[in-house]
Amino acid sequence: MLKIFNTLTRKKEKLIPLVNGKIKIYVCGVTVYDLCHLGHARTFLAFDTIIRYLHHCGYQVNYVRNITDIDDKIIKRAHENNETTKKLTNRMIKEMHLDFDALNILRPNYEPKVTDHIDIIIKFIHLLIQKKHAYIAPNGDVMFSVKTMRNYGILSKKKIPDIHNVSKNPNIKNPSIDFVLWKISKPGEPYWLSPWGAGRPGWHIECSAMNHSIFGNQLDIHGGGSDLIFPHHDNEIAQSVCAYNMPCAKVWIHSGMLLLNHEKMSKSSNNFLTIRDILRRYDPETIRYFLMSAHYRNQLKYNDNSLNNARASLKRLYIALRDTKTNTEIKLSSEDYFISKFISKMNDDFNTPEAYSVLFDIAHKLNDLKIKRHSLTPKIAATLKYLANTIGLLYQNPEIFLKKIALKNNKKFNFKKIERLIKRREDARNNNQWELSDRIRNKLTIMGITLEDSSTGTTRWHFNNTIHVTKNN
């Protein structure tokens, strides 16, 4: 039975869906004003792993991840770029998809944008005003009255006297705690018409309104980074309870922060590395492995040593898979020892570090079986690939991955050039140009490349104890 740590109750609970066999999950997405950084990758890889495992468990998952495409940062950046907010956000959404696709992050079933849901947001705010949970401030902004919400701060466990919100506006009733639902636009800013004037939604209301319009009064799981617990998710709960007398989610899941220089990776503090930056230096699967090497709820420190260790760990797994045939017709059972052990680790709040350890146990067993040429080798290889695929790993051809690792480790070598030289040598051999063939081989030897020809039409080349295969046509 799958157990998940619920931030709301601070304990692990059995996952019992609202509707048998189906899971509704909403995750707070990106504010698209710039390229995504590695902290974003950590959060959405955590939920990608969770979604993948829920699929593995047989659940029909409806996964929604929103996009914030209007806010102060977006307006400021668009102004700096001398472009419209829509042009900026559409461009950044494309870039986000490129980065997430590179990391093999599954796209959600639905990716609602705030600007496509203004009408439902206005209706939600109107309901809160009707129920006396919101008011219009003298400057025209619509504010949520926090003190009208019983048990406000139930998620973060903060009490109202302890809360010091960022707002210092003297026009609102409780400047230390009330938050904006509808913000009157300044001259030159984008706006939408509303009963309270031309403006745009506040940040917190957008998720409550879209969430309710898509899923109704309640969903199974609501998630995001741990930095959203307060105030964003506390405010979502307050809005949903006050509007519909129903908390918006049964289970709240929060991923731990990625730390750079001992601080949370964040663009607002100029302490970040973009996903694009890291993809230039490391294979996407290496990044994925690293970001899930700590439990998803724990903080994770970024450093090059950790990424290099992740690369070495993946290399070990791929070396174990190399030269094996994972027959798709091999039948695997959840009762098999390794599969059962892996499932027990993942059922314990998606414990990927412990699941990794099972993968290495399988790799160790597989290496022993390969040496002995044991008949169980294909089944164990299939088990390793099947379980790793469950969490988005080992999806590449081992030879291709190992070749890419060699490329990343040895930038002075042009591997496309090596492939071209090997092809030229093979053409020379086919045309009985043995002198040219020998010259090319000697050139490769000087580069540190050792060739191994086979009778099957393939050439293996070795570099730094890594084997690569070139198929000759």
For the annotated binding site for Zn(2+), the residues are 28, 207, 232, 236
Query: What pairing do the DSSP bridges indicate for beta strands 22-27 and 60-65?
Result: parallel
Per the annotation, binding residues for ATP are 267
Torsional class of 87: left (φ above 0), alpha (ψ -120 to 50), beta (otherwise): alpha
Neighbours of 10 (CB within 10 A): 8
What's the alpha-carbon Rg for the chain, to the nearest Å? 27
Please name the residue that has the structure tokens 């010091």: 164
Residues 350, 283: Cα–Cα separation, whole Å? 24
CA proximity to 112, closest of 244, 25, 211 = 211
Per the annotation, binding residues are 28, 207, 232, 236, 267
Type and span of the H or E element at 253? strand 249-255
Measuring CA to CA, how many Å separate 278 from each of 65, 163, 268? 24, 37, 19
CA proximity to 218, closest of 18, 449, 473 = 18
DSSP 226: G
Q: First vs last Cα of the chain: how many Å apart?
A: 51
What angle is formed at CA 291 by the lines to CA 287 and CA 296, rounded to 5 degrees? 160
Sheet holding 466-471, edge to edge: 450-453, 458-463, 466-471
Most distant CA atoms of the chain, gap in Å: 90
Residues 298, 193: Cα–Cα separation, whole Å? 43
Please name the residue that has the structure tokens 């919400």: 149
Residues 216, 32: Cα–Cα separation, whole Å? 26
Alpha helix stretches (DSSP H) within 106-222: 118-130, 203-215
CB contact at 8 A, 449 and 464: no
- Strand ranges (E), 16-127: 22-27, 60-65
